Chain A
């Protein structure tokens, strides 16, 4: 009997997945790869919940007078959709899942610098998530994900405190993850792995970690003060006693604008890896792509005021914030142009990850360019608070960050699971997501331009056609997200076994077996060449 159970394992060598099977080996693991999978399962759970709220909203907006819920419920739907998707899905998505899995592998280390802290970060995330789920069950919260005072601190009778505590707690998960990555990238690189030999994914994760460590504490203290105000009805944001509601917006956006870059920068890193691999070329302008990640992180801290152009902020401050916001376009455009230049004369093959990466470039460009409209003072007065903003940031966060996350999952799935997924289905789902996404959100640009405000449960009848288009697109998008969920789960058991380097990619993570052993490398590798030595490899194969 014992031989019967042992037999299948003879074929697959010991790795981090089959090292142990008990539930304790997962809940008390300090292995960065297992913690990455814990995050993957939990953020997928929150994605489904957040997506369900979005589904209800789009269903409601099929009819001008609202088809489904009371206006109060609608307010709670968009609030919980925003809070869950931003704090519990997008921010941990690429950093906590792919970053956790890949950072030690890519730098040739056995684990992150602080493995126990890494596990603690996941538990902190879960506790924060439980508070948020509690708030959803106990009646919801209706302030919008921005929690603007004094509505949130004084007037809202919903579960503001519970959700504030949830976001506050989860913030520390983000802070500690960023801290772990920075220390690991500084101190744990394999011999010969200099800064300019790092894969661009790590430059992106490093820049992201800077934002996580410097920005998130400011959100934490802001949300902490907000919760105190809501509990005790006295505080520095409430105008009854002379507090300053705009102070809340300043502090909130000081984090929450850079938070957008927490979502998009790692996706940019993923795209750099995928483009280089499937164009079989060294990335064009490696250093400037790397530095543009850092530039985005730094500039990102100086533009928060563009969320406050119409709040009575000084015109001169508005001018400076507008100028700085335009500056962010430069490093962003550098990335897009350099990816395009990498594709030029590359030996391009269209596998599933590549489709997601190309989809990212197109959607991110749309999102970025429409951001320019909003960075201009005059046009922002017209577009602020409309569906134009909703469409813009969904192009960045969903079209950009989620496409990047899915692209990364498809690229590294053979490494993570040791299995291959059905490529045809994966390419189909990429196409469905691209079409469904554009159908959902492009009409919202037009709606916003025509003046439909966001966060309303009703709208004039003349907007119905565009709203129905958007809702139809959302259902296509939902199917597009469901397909990968099905075939990824299917492939874990039935997928063909993946070899160590199925894409013929460079990078240390591909030099260890799939899935990697618990200690990552039998022997710590020594690095002797740049990150994307694709052309050298081609030449060697030709010779």
Chain B
């Protein structure tokens, strides 16, 4: 149990450098938007590399894309969009001061994030089973080899390098997001957030939505190349 006065100080939530809570809230939200801009530039370099190589070696990217499991990718897209909904509801609950709903929705967001990462881990496992992990285990055979061969195995290896780099960085962002959610849940259960002080929930929420949007781009770029049906 925290000390009563400690909880009070937490409850106010105003840092010493700010004049009032609204200035602090403005600074916090402006800060996270700016951070997301830097994230766009960060992923942007990777997307540029993707664009250049896909333009050069479309056939290889087409073949690589057909080796991925589109159903798992689609399920993960739905899971992540669902987690964005629960995240938005968390922010709403914080704004209205509904502590129980806040904890519930944050927990749901975290569970959905965990489901996404679980499915992603299973997909990575599949890649090892099919021997299509660049450098570490690169020996495609059978049906996979037949799909990759027309575009050139070298270029397919580049595609899978990008697949792991892009989804790996995305998963790393998810893991960081899970850590932030854990921290929010602990604070929410202590009653740290009020309708006048909920900036951390909003800030983590914006981060979570951003990570979600990155996946919205990754899914078609990696899984949906070329005609399938």
Contact = CB atoms under 8 A, between A and B. Distances in A.
B19 to A, nearest CB: 7
A111 B23 CA distance: 13
Contact of A218 (B17, B19, B42, B162): B42
Contacts, number: 110
Nearest to A187: B27
- Interface size class of chain B, counting residues whose CB lies under 8 Å from the partner chain: 35 or more
A214 B46 contact: no
Interface string B42-64: 11111011001100110000000
B23 A234 contact: no
A183 B38 contact: no
Interface in B69-83: none
Interface of B is mostly: helix
B38 A175 contact: yes
Contact of A234 (B43, B52, B135): B135
Contact of B161 (A179, A222, A236): A236
B222 to A, nearest CB: 14
B31 A225 contact: no
A416 B108 CA distance: 50
B30 A186 contact: yes
B158 A242 contact: yes
Interface in B156-180: 157-158, 161-162, 165
B41 interface: yes
B221 to A, nearest CB: 14
B224 to A, nearest CB: 21
A524 B44 CA distance: 41
B155 interface: yes
A187 B161 contact: no
A234 B161 contact: yes
A228 interface: yes
Given A110-B17, A188-B27, A214-B41, A236 B162 contact: yes
Contacts of B27: 113-114, 183-184, 187-188
A241 B49 CA distance: 14
Given A217-B38, A233-B135, A183 B43 contact: no
Contacts of B155: 241-242
B134 interface: yes
A524 B19 contact: yes
A182 interface: yes
Q: Which of A216, A218, A233, A236 has the most CB of B within 10 A?
A: A236
Contacts of B37: 213-214
B38 A236 contact: no
Q: Which of A111, A113, A114 has the most CB of B within 10 A?
A: A113
Interface of A is mostly: helix
A251 B48 CA distance: 9
Interface string B145-160: 0000000101101100
A100 to B, nearest CB: 13
A111 B41 contact: no
B27 to A, nearest CB: 4
A183 B30 contact: yes
B46 A232 contact: no
Contact of A213 (B34, B56, B157): B34
B39 interface: yes
Nearest to A232: B135
A241 B157 contact: yes
B16 A225 contact: no
B34 A244 contact: no
A541 B49 CA distance: 63
Contacts of A214: 37-38, 41
A109 B17 contact: yes
Given A111-B16, A225-B165, A247-B49, A218 B30 contact: no
B1 interface: no
8 contacts: A112-B17, A114-B31, A187-B23, A188-B17, A221-B43, A234-B135, A242-B152, A247-B52
Given A216-B38, A247-B48, 9 more contacts: A115-B17, A175-B38, A180-B31, A183-B31, A188-B27, A218-B41, A234-B161, A244-B53, A244-B56
